[in-house]
A and B are shown apart, each in its own frame.
Chain A
Amino acid sequence: MKINDVILRTVVKAVVFIILTLGVYLFFAGHNAPGGGFIGGLVLGSAVVLLYLTYDIETVHKGMPFDFKKVAAFGVLLATGTAIGSIFFNVPFLTQAAREFHFPLLGETHLSTVMIFEAGVALTVIGTLVTIILSISEDE
């Protein structure tokens, strides 16, 4: 029996982009407002999971040809890498730096190395979440 999921598919097509946008927003908002790497990663990951639930694995994989295990591994490397990186600037392990930068069009922007660390967290969360759900659902 084939389940009629036209409504789900149509809704997801639109909703996924909203969720993804929200995820990206939350990730960048994290420093001064609610959000952050963990929550941003979780939202992005759940968007991917939603896609997998609605469409089959092959279709989604065509659109996003990532090996999510590697995404997670890269995230861990990024997070630990920024931590170790601080040693080379002669400051203690995990020290983060922040500075104000002036960009054309964007104006004053506050940039921080925490961002890289948080990106690592986000990628690990996305990668692990999708890996776990995919491997369980693919199991016979």
Chain B
Amino acid sequence: MIVELAILLPFIMAAVIPFIYRRFKKVHIGWLVLAVPVVLFSILTTYIPRIVNGQTFTKTYEWIPSFNISFTTYLDGLSMIFSLLITGVGSLVILYSIFYLSTKESLHHFYCYLLLFMGAMLGVVFSDHLMVLYAFWELTSVSSFLLIAFWHHRKASRAGARKAMTITVTGGVAMLAGFLTLYTIAGTFSIRELIADVGIIQEHALFIPAMILVLLGAFTKSAQFPFHIWLPDAMEAPTPVSAYLHSATMVKAGIYLVARMSPVFGGHEVWFWAVAGVGIITLFWGSFNAVRQFDLKALLAYSTVSQLGLIMSLFGLGSAAHALGYSQESLLYTQATFAALFHLINHSTFKGALFMMVGIVDHEVGTRDIRRLGGLMALMPFTFSIAVIGSMSMAGLPPFNGFLSKEMFFTATVDILTLNIFSIESFGLLFPVIAWFASVFTFVYSAIIVGRTFFGKLQPERLEKPPHEAPIGMLIPPFILVAVVVGIFFFPNVLGRNILGPAMKSIYPSFPTKELIVDISPWHFNTALLMTIGVIIVGVLLYRSLPKWRAVYQLFSQKYTLNAYYERIIGFSESKSGWFTRLYMNGNLTYYFIYIYVIFVGIVAGYFVLSDAFVWSPAKDSAIEYYEFILLFIMVFAAVALLFTKGRITAVLLNGVLGYSVAFFFVIFRAPDLALTQLVVESVTTALFLLCFKFLPDLTKENISRAVKFSKATISILVGATVTLIGLTVLHYEKFMPISTYFEDSYNLAGGKNIVNTILGDFRAFDTMLEVVVLFIAGLGIYTLIKLKAKKGETDIEN
């Protein structure tokens, strides 16, 4: 029960906020929102003991049974880790944002989007059904889009939001295709059933395509190379959003998916190399590029990319144990996964603190550019201590939690060399080597964060505001995080036994849980420690000599960056699709009529000709009365006269004659509903035409060539002929069953005697409902087109 509530509560709150935010003029509405994650976090923690005992919590609601879609929630160790991160970091971020965002901002939008995100993210980690997971997954992309573009008056915000959306949703669609492929293989959307059927799935020919499609979704979401380019641009979002979505939670959704699906896909060579390989490349590329950044947030963005790569590669290395099956030897490789989960938590703590620290600097000083910052240590002592602890943990130094997980990462990359499958002997050595180099750069950029911001010379003239310490409310959340950073270092096994162990069980269902838990010792001596010492020595040297080797980055041409390729692809598709659209949407109404009529004649007349369905049997028709001839004559006269009119008013009146005559025919043929409708619609449209005429120029004679005239005449005659022939045919058409008999019993079926109305309001009510919606949208469209267009001389509000 509680799990569904956890998903629903943020959505409920998001729905309530627009109605009550007006009452929160003096008090920051964030205080109310803060209750949601705090309550959820506290309730979830009470489940930890039962999860440790191996219990899981499942609940199923039928949603769309005809499509085999059910809303199944599933709480186990793995979803526990993520849900604790989502609600825990969420609480701190909301507390932080109360002080970060002033009440002048459109806070109701902000918290509405943030809660939407929280609910969607909880939905992702708690869903057992792949389709439901996909829906929540895309909802996180949408809410991330809205949050990045929160300051939508800035061009960079909009561009960043669009880029993030384009890349993650493209990956999401690939993932959907992957899920559908899995469904065709195994016939189920349930993750747990997929894991149970793993034997069948791995033998199937579509196994590799499904795996690659699912990985595309995970890699785009988790900003893995080469899809990482959206994450630095997403930093245009307000800092609390960057701390929450783009470092602690949303970007970890891809990692969650990899972890969740590894019992299904893990154990295959392609999975091992794809996940570990892409991860380790991302690790290096991210940390290498972080060093060149001048904007602190951009630096943190690249560092997040790099750390996500680290976690991803660990999951890849850990998947080797799936291939070997349970044995004492394969337990060695599960330690990589353990390290991945451990680092996942550690990264959220220190990176969250660092983002908040950068937000404080930006907020109190007015800039995040390290060329303008410096010497803030004495002025902002608390912020400084947060920065030191966060950076040292990120660089992998003791006594902080990053040290432990970084050491375990080094160990895992060394241990994998003993593996004797997956042709590890050819490229395996690259893992520890790349990991070591990447860690050196990690050390360098961590040093840059602290060194360039807080040491050096203060340059007050280049800062926007006189620097001073932040309000206490902004300091509390990062302080809680750094306290956790230190706490985990001294008591890592509390976390290991209670949180990480149960999650390991979800990833390795066939292994005994007890043996999956690694005993982490803060004080140790092994190869990994030697590697860390090497990192520190080389890192310090590189940081000292940074100005000398910075020129290395100039070697990369601006033309060949991934961003340039992205821009080129987007520009190409925009210009080509624009060209194609302009080809037929040329703004000339005559052409649009031609398209409509040619297609109409083509399909309708084409069908009747091909199926030889035209029927001509006047003998069966009833005789034509003289007054029908009179009406017909009037109509023919009006139609022909319409062709030769010079004025618009005459044309409209003649058109009205046609319409009213049709209404008379309806009367004669005893269709009062149609006649009534026709009469009123005709009157209203005539009035509408007359209204519009004051905006139109007089009719002028067009100079068109004989060929065009001829083709227009042909189309007109064809349309007329088609309609006439079909009208004559349908009376005796016998290829389909007539449906009119079905409606005759309307009083018993629908409670009404008027068949026309029971069709509208009951038998075909769905059509009516949608027509009403369409009508409304059309009305609003006309209203906005006319009322909201820019007045002459007025510039666009954009920018």
Interface residues of A (CB under 8 A from B): 26, 30-39, 42-43, 45-46, 49, 53, 69, 72-73, 75-76, 79-80, 83, 93-94, 96, 98, 110, 112, 114, 117-118, 120-121, 124-125, 127-129, 131-133, 135-139
Is B603 located at the chain interface by the 8 A CB criterion? Answer: no
Contact B681 A35 (CB under 8 A): no
Distance in angstroms between the alpha carbons of A79 and B769 in the assembled complex: 6
Question: In the complex, which residues 764-795 of chain B have their Cβ closer than 8 Å to any Cβ of chain A?
Answer: 765-766, 768-769, 772-773, 775-776, 778-780, 782-783, 786-787
Contact A72 B779 (CB under 8 A): yes
Query: Is the Cβ of B680 less than 8 Å from the Cβ of A96?
Result: no
Q: Is the CB of A132 within 8 A of B783?
A: yes
B32 within 8 A of A: no
B193 lies within 8 A of chain A by Cβ: no
Q: Please tell me if B752 contacts chain A, counting CB pairs below 8 Å.
A: yes
Residues in B721-759 with C-beta less than 8 Å from chain A: 750-754, 756-758
Question: Of A26, A30, A39, A133, which one neighbours B687 at CB under 8 angstroms?
Answer: A133
The answer on a CB contact under 8 Å between B750 and A96 is yes
Query: Taking the complex as formed, is B534 at the interface, i.e. its CB lies under 8 A from any CB of chain A?
Result: no
B793 → chain A closest CB, angstroms: 13
Say yes or no for B18: interface residue by CB 8 A criterion.
Answer: no
- The CA-CA distance from A72 to B692 in the complex, in Å, is 22
What are 17 A-B pairs at a CB distance below 8 A?
A: A36-B673, A36-B756, A37-B761, A38-B760, A38-B768, A39-B680, A72-B779, A72-B780, A79-B769, A83-B766, A98-B750, A118-B761, A125-B775, A131-B779, A132-B782, A133-B691, A139-B695
Partner of A135, one of B775, B778, B786: B786
What CA separation (Å) do A73 and B673 show in the bound complex? 26
The answer to whether B773 touches A80, judged by C-beta atoms less than 8 angstroms apart, is yes
B766 touches A30 (CB 8 A): no
* Whole-angstrom CA separation of A57 from B352 in the bound complex: 58
Main secondary structure of the interface of A (DSSP, over half): helix
A39 in contact with B673 (CB, 8 Å) = yes
Which of A42, A76, A132, A138 has a CB less than 8 Å from the CB of B772?
A76
Which chain A residues lie closer than 8 Å to B673 at the CB level? 34-36, 39
- Contact call A42/B684, Cβ cutoff below 8 A: yes
Give Cα A136 to B695, complex, Å. 10
B677 on interface, CB distance cutoff 8 Å: yes
Assess whether B754 is in contact with A96, with CB atoms less than 8 Å apart.
no
Does chain A have a CB within 8 A of B688?
yes
How far is the CB of A40 from the nearest CB of chain B, in Å?
A: 10
- Residue of chain A at shortest CB distance from B785: A135
B469 at interface by CB-CB < 8 Å: no
Give min CB distance, A74 to chain B, whole Å.
Answer: 10
- Evaluate contact between B680 and A33: CB separation under 8 angstroms: no
Report A92 CB to chain B, min CB distance, Å.
11
**Most chain B beta-carbon contacts within 10 A, residue among A26, A33, A73, A75:** A33
User: Could you say which of A31, A43, A75, A129 contacts B752, with CB atoms under 8 Å apart?
Assistant: A31
Whole-angstrom CA separation of A34 from B681 in the bound complex: 16
> Nearest residue in B to A99 (C-beta to C-beta)?
B751
Query: A36 and B751: CB pair below 8 A?
Result: no
Chain A positions within 8 Å of B787 at CB level: 135
Is A75's CB under 8 angstroms from B672's CB?
no
A31 to B757, CA, bound (A): 6
- Contact with A46, one of B680, B773, B780 (Cβ below 8 angstroms): B680
Q: Which residues of A lie under 8 Å from residue B695 when comparing CB positions?
A: 139
The answer to whether A139 and B779 touch across the interface, beta carbons within 8 angstroms, is no
Q: Is B510 an interface residue (CB 8 A)?
A: no
The reply on B362 being an interface residue by CB < 8 A is no
B765 A136 Cβ-Cβ under 8 A? no
Bound complex: CA of A96 vs CA of B677, how far in Å? 24
- In chain B, what residue has the closest Cβ to A84? B769
Given contacts A76-B772, A93-B766, 4 further A-B contacts (CB under 8 A): A43-B680, A121-B761, A125-B772, A131-B780
Q: Check A131 against B684 for contact (C-beta < 8 Å).
A: no
B762:A46 contact, CB within 8 angstroms:
no
Given contacts A32-B753, A34-B672, A121-B772, contact A96 B783 (CB under 8 A): no
A-B complex: 7 closest residue pairs judged by Cβ atoms: A98-B751, A128-B779, A32-B753, A34-B672, A114-B761, A31-B752, A36-B757
Which of A69, A76, A79, A93 has most B Cβ within 10 Å?
Answer: A79
A30 to B756 CA separation, bound complex (whole angstroms):
9
Check B684–A34 contact: CB distance below 8 A.
no
